[in-house]
Structure 1
Amino acid sequence: MVVRLPDPAEHGLVGDLVAYAGRVAPARVGPPAVLGHRQGELVVRCGALVVKAHSTRTDTHALERRLALATETALTEVLLRPVHSGHLRTRFVTVWPVARALRPDAQELPWEEAGRLLARLHTARVPQSRVPEAGGPRKLASAMRRLAVHPAGGGVRAAIVKAAYASLPAWCRGSAPQPRSMITHGDFHFGQLVETRHGWRLIDLDDLGVGDPVWDLARPAAWFAAGVLPEGGWERFLTTYREHGGPAVGEDEWVDLDGPARALTVQTAALAIVNGDLDVAEVFVGGCRRIVEQERRLQATVT
């Protein structure tokens, strides 16, 4: 059953996407169901396929180069490989095989699989010259721009988030070069894992590219620091990542993770305010407040 959409034009797009999938692989198409529609994107499942209409703001050429990475031999067991990609009028469209996503209320997360996949991604030997820059600071900057123009952007909570952002290291804010350059996911969280009949894979390649691998560990680290992830799960994730040669962190992981984890705390808080997610905002704005207080104590010690 198709989920009711707020915009009748989007409703028509559902049928167009189903027809598109039917031309790509007619034997695999079935009744449609909308899986998501936000920020100008629309994702529809139709039988054994998932079709995504990307935002009209998408850099199509960059995305095509990212999708090409999924066909690299070194990454075929790491990234979910698209069935097809192309254009539908003004939209860039990708077609994917159906896979089992994690439920939002999942009691157990695939800690070890996440650590293994990220380690394999970060150590993959693939040509970097054809790959765009990964997410990381670019995602953070986008979140701060959205907060700046949002009606809540002048409030007390937003002021705390902006102060925490200003305290971040320059390279975390994108105003200095990244310390390392490797293939990274660019927007990793546990919702980016799906299970196929061949095993677990990473999805959502829109921010895949060259960057510092520490950013892929930064969001789980921020969640752990905020008390959202259990200590045992975080340790299983990090241990497996290291056991498979993951290069993002050294012996003391927080030496490498401190700045990026604070950056993801700021990013999560900013987006929670923009999206009106009060529960998430309460947790991560609290984290931003602690970042600001810690910075003030540090400055007082220095002076």
Structure 2
Amino acid sequence: MQQDTALLRGLADVARDAAHPPAPPHACHGCGSAGGGVLADRDGGTVVRHGRAVAKAHAPGTDPVAHRARLAVAAHPRLAGILLPPLPVSTADVRGRPVSAWPYGTPVDPAEPEAAPWEEAATLLARLHAVPAPGLPGPLPPMRGPAKVVRAMTRLRQAAGAAAHPGTAAVHAAWRRLPAWARAEVPALRADAVCHGDFHLGQLVRHPAADGPWLLIDVDDLGLGDPAWDLARPAAWYAAGVLPAQVWTRFLGAYRAAAGPAVPPHGDPWPALDVPARALTVQTAALALAKATAAGRELDEVELAVVDSCARIATLPSELG
């Protein structure tokens, strides 16, 4: 994707202003300009850092009303210690795209998978799901998890040459076996919990220091929905053999220990997790095929595992809960 230099300059200005607020003068003492540059530049958002602040240009076409509601929820006292709160910004948009500013936090280190904060993440999700929705700024829109599955399937259909890949048919077949709510065709059967909507380990940072507490970030998909969706990606990875059983057990155990409402406190969790996990498998496989086709490369081991999972899903009954 070609970089928009004017967008990057505008985001750098927002991040600089957020890192150096005009009052009080000592508010950012010592932050200087240490650490900077483009942290991400993808279709879903562009992120630029300046010192202790980052600025994000959200995806083109972002609903401005829903965007403001999500930012207001992230700043609400009920979410303190769960979601990273936004910083004030001097401008509402850059190059026609909504912009937000955030404190910089230390992300999960992909080079140390054994230190991944699975228990901490599960506890944060349980706390998020337990936040009472009434009284929060709003109206809080629906959680966008199912919409992301639709977007992944659209991207697969539009990827030149993807139709020829032997795994594509299996992904489409698995997609057709999802219920209508998981394909964003009708409202979800359950839509009463505050959900992150796109949980994975990349949505965690330590703040305010490198050894501070973990917090959830990225509220672009935040909304009311089925809390099981936030557990679906780890569940899908476990079912595909990508996530070790002991890690899944730690994650699920920590969620239950924190009284998370997505699954029963005891017994089999899969009646609640089955459909969301299948949907996330379809989403992951569709994106893997689209990206691999565009890059002209073979699927890697993890990508093959999720495509194989779609082939298994395709043999299951169409009518799910």
Q: TM-score, normalised by structure 2?
A: 0.84
Give the aligned CA root-mean-square deviation in angstroms.
2.1
Shift of 1:158: 1.3
Counterpart of 2:112, as a letter, is A
* Alignment partner of 1:123 is 2:130: yes
Shift of 1:66: 0.5
Which runs of 4 or more aligned residues in structure 1 lie more than 4 Å from their structure 2 counterparts after TM superposition? none
User: How many angstroms does 1:207 deviate by?
Assistant: 0.1
How many residues get paired? 291
Greater mean deviation of Cα atoms: 115-124 or 69-78 = 69-78
Q: How far does residue 10 in structure 1 lie from its aligned partner after superposition?
A: 2.0
1:285 alignment partner in structure 2: 307
Superimposed CA distance per residue, residues 67-109 of structure 1 (whole angstroms, 9 cap, x where no aligned partner): 1111222211100011124222412111111111012232221
Q: Which amino acid aligns with 1:278?
A: L
Is 1:97 the counterpart of 2:103? The answer is yes
Q: Secondary structure at the match of 1:278?
A: coil
Q: CA deviation at 1:40?
A: 5.9
1:188 paired with 2:199, answer yes
Per-residue deviation, 1:29: 5.5
Structure-2 residue corresponding to 1:110: 117
Structure 2: 5+ residue stretches without partners: 21-27, 293-297
User: In structure 2, how many angstroms separate the alpha carbons of the residues matched to 1:257 and 1:162?
Assistant: 21
- 2:269 is the counterpart of 1:235: no
Of all paired residues, the percent bearing the same amino acid is: 46
> Which aligned pairs between 1:224-263 and structure 2 lie closer than 5 A?
224-250=238-264, 251-263=267-279
Q: For residues 201-253 of structure 1, what are the alpha-carbon distances to aligned partners after superposition, in whole Å with 9 as ceiling and x for unaligned?
A: 00111000000001000111001111111111111111111111111112310
CA contact (8 A) 2:59 2:97 kept: yes
Displacement of 1:14: 2.5
- Kindly provide the CA deviation profile for residues 175-225 of structure 1, in whole angstroms up to 9, marking residues without a partner as x: 343222211000111111111135110011100000000100011100111
Calculate the TM-score normalised by the size of structure 1.
Answer: 0.89
CA contact (8 A) 1:74 1:126 kept: no
Q: CA deviation at 1:295?
A: 4.1
Report if aligned partners of 2:177, 2:316 keep a CA contact under 8 Å in 1: no
Counterpart pick for 2:189 among 179, 188, 193: 179
Structure 1, unmatched stretches of 5+, are 1-5, 299-303
**1:22 equivalent in alignment to 2:19:** no
Moved more, 87-96 or 113-122: 87-96
- 1: CA distance, partners of 2:172 / 2:154: 11
In structure 2, the CA distance between the partners of 1:233 and 1:151, relative to structure 1 (3 Å rule), is same
Which structure is higher in helix share?
A: 1
CA distance in 1, matches of 2:64, 2:285: 29
